């Protein structure tokens, strides 16, 4: 198992070295930012208003689920254990500076997610089952002018998307973090040791019951639990930081200073180079907010909207909530606790976050365990839908039930796998599925620009 872990970590490090996937993310996101006229900045207030309005009323446009359900389903997969365990592993691998590069990834990623959602709605199709389907495989197929290139990129995305859903951050990494945070909570709060497989079994059964109902049940469940779980976690982390507010400026300076210089070894932390900080920040940033990954437009693309840009604006808000708010809170909690330098936590993930909160808030590890369960639960049901749409594109609708069964079984497997293996495998597959999506989006920059200008003209005229 150690040999397999080392080989996967090597491939993962090659994909996420600064001049590989982080550079592609920066270039594509930068081009989208320029072509849309800084849409993530200029239209951020409009994005907030759009989300608030979607909470108050059902969408009346064409689609399968409401605009808010699409946001909830997408947030269900993005605001997951990447926000608890992924941020922790980013710091343990790349040091505090990794958080700066996570922020950079989010700033560019808001434009990328906007474009993905716009293209998802614009190029969605109706499958033979009568249901709408969307995602990179469809907008690449219909939008890239060179047919062989389009087919190759779409097939690659669907294949790696299905693999990522089964073996990556949308499945095994989630159950792994859930199991570890529950073990930590049982130890610190109840004083008992429980096996990793027990919480793994609980999350497996819970997810399996929801998956039987398809996208409408997934969307309905996500709509109910996602806002609540985010509020509970944010309030817990914010309370911790208010109590330790005197250390926050120092941590902020630490993040900025370590972003551009090697992180020295301290305590049990082995030290990290700037390249490691960029790789950890970018890979965990994409893991968390999924901007450029290509998964979110699978949900956003079937929303009931009157114009594709309506859902693109929701995508901007999604990345902001996930990374700038939730991930940042986790990072500041971990860094102010100083537990990230303790030898005990050098191979940790969500259990580090739980222990960090518990240094100030008694019993907080139980809160983190509950949030981790809800985060993992919501991410698992969201990613199962993403994966089944990829499988459906490749092999047709008849294989979906088999896929759901395999997906559910692998949840249990993930709960007992080692942290280095499960996270390296997850971020490796994320990079492999992001690449064909980002290359395909380069061909579609003109479409995004045209639809953005069209929406702006319509808004100006109606206003």
Q: Is the pLDDT of residue 140 over 80?
A: yes
Tell me the average pLDDT across 219-232: 71
**What pLDDT, on a 0 to 100 scale, did the predictor assign at position 211?**
74
DSSP state of 264: P
Domains defined along the chain, listed by start: 7-462 (1.20.1740.10)
Q: Is the pLDDT of residue 60 over 60?
A: no
DSSP state of 61: S
Give the DSSP H or E segment for 133. strand 132-133
Q: What is the tens place of the pLDDT at every residue in 168-192?
A: 878 888 888 888 888 888 888 888 8
Q: Cα separation of 119 and 139, whole Å?
A: 6
Query: In which band, very low, low, confident or very high, does the pLDDT at 383 lie, cut at 50, 70 and 90?
Result: confident
Q: Which of 318, 357, 418, 343 is nearest to 70 (CA)?
A: 318
Decide: helix, strand or coil at residue 126.
Answer: strand
Query: In which band, very low, low, confident or very high, does the pLDDT at 403 lie, cut at 50, 70 and 90?
Result: very high
**What pLDDT, on a 0 to 100 scale, did the predictor assign at position 151?**
96
**What pLDDT, on a 0 to 100 scale, did the predictor assign at position 126?**
86
Write out the two tokens for 306. 């009157």
**What pLDDT, on a 0 to 100 scale, did the predictor assign at position 454?**
92
Q: Is the pLDDT of residue 82 over 80?
A: no
**What pLDDT, on a 0 to 100 scale, did the predictor assign at position 61?**
59
**What pLDDT, on a 0 to 100 scale, did the predictor assign at position 73?**
64
Q: Is the pLDDT of residue 293 over 60?
A: yes
Above pLDDT 90, what percent of the chain?
47
Cα 165 to Cα 116, 159, 374: the distances in Å are 19, 10, 18
Q: What are the helix (H) ranges across 79-213?
A: 87-94, 97-122, 136-143, 147-167, 172-185, 197-211
Return the biggest CA–CA distance within the chain: 65
Q: Is the pLDDT of residue 463 over 80?
A: no
pTM: 0.88
């Amino acid at each position: 198992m150690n040999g397999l872990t080392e080989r996967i970590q090597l491939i993962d490090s090659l994909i996420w070295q600064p001049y590989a996937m982080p550079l592609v993310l920066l270039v594509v996101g930068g081009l989208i930012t320029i072509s849309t006229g800084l849409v993530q900045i200029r239209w951020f207030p409009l994005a907030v208003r759009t989300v608030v309005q979607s909470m108050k009323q059902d969408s009346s446009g064409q689609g399968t689920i409401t605009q808010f359900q699409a946001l909830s389903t997408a947030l269900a997969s993005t605001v997951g254990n990447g926000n608890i365990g992924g941020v922790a592993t980013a710091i343990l691998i790349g040091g505090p500076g990794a958080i700066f590069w996570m922020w950079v990834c989010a700033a560019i990623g808001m434009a990328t997610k906007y474009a993905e959602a716009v293209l998802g709605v614009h190029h969605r199709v109706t499958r033979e089952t009568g249901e709408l389907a969307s995602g990179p495989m469809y907008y690449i197929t219909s939008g890239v002018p060179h047919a062989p290139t389009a087919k190759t990129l779409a097939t690659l995305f669907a294949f790696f998307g299905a693999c990522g859903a089964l073996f990556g951050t949308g499945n095994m990494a989630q159950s792994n973090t859930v199991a570890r945070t529950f073990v930590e909570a049982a130890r610190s709060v109840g004083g008992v040791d429980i096996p990793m497989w027990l919480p793994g079994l609980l999350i497996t059964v819970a997810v399996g019951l929801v998956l039987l109902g398809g996208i409408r049940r997934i969307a309905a469940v996500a709509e109910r639990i996602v806002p609540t779980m985010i509020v509970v976690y944010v309030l817990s982390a914010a309370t911790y930081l208010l109590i330790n507010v005197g250390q926050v400026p120092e941590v902020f300076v630490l993040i900025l200073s370590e972003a551009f210089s090697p992180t020295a070894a301290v305590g049990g932390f082995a030290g990290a180079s700037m390249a490691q900080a960029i790789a950890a920040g970018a890979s965990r940033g994409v893991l968390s907010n999924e901007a450029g990954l290509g998964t979110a437009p699978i949900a956003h693309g079937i929303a009931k909207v009157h114009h594709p840009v309506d859902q693109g604006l929701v995508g901007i808000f999604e990345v902001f909530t996930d990374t700038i708010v939730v991930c940042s809170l986790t990072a500041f909690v971990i860094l102010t606790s100083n537990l990230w330098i303790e030898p005990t936590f050098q191979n940790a993930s969500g259990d580090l976050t739980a222990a960090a909160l518990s240094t100030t808030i008694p019993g907080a590890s139980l809160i983190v365990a509950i949030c981790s369960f809800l985060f993992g639960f919501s991410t698992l049901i969201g990613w199962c839908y993403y994966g089944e749409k990829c499988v459906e594109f490749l092999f047709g609708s008849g294989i979906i039930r088999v896929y759901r069964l395999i997906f559910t079984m692998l949840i249990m497997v993930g709960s007992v796998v080692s942290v280095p293996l499960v996270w390296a495998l997850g971020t490796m597959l994320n990079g492999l599925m992001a690449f064909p999506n980002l290359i395909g989006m380069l061909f579609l920059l003109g479409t995004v620009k045209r639809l953005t200008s069209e929406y702006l003209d319509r808004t100006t005229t109606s206003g």
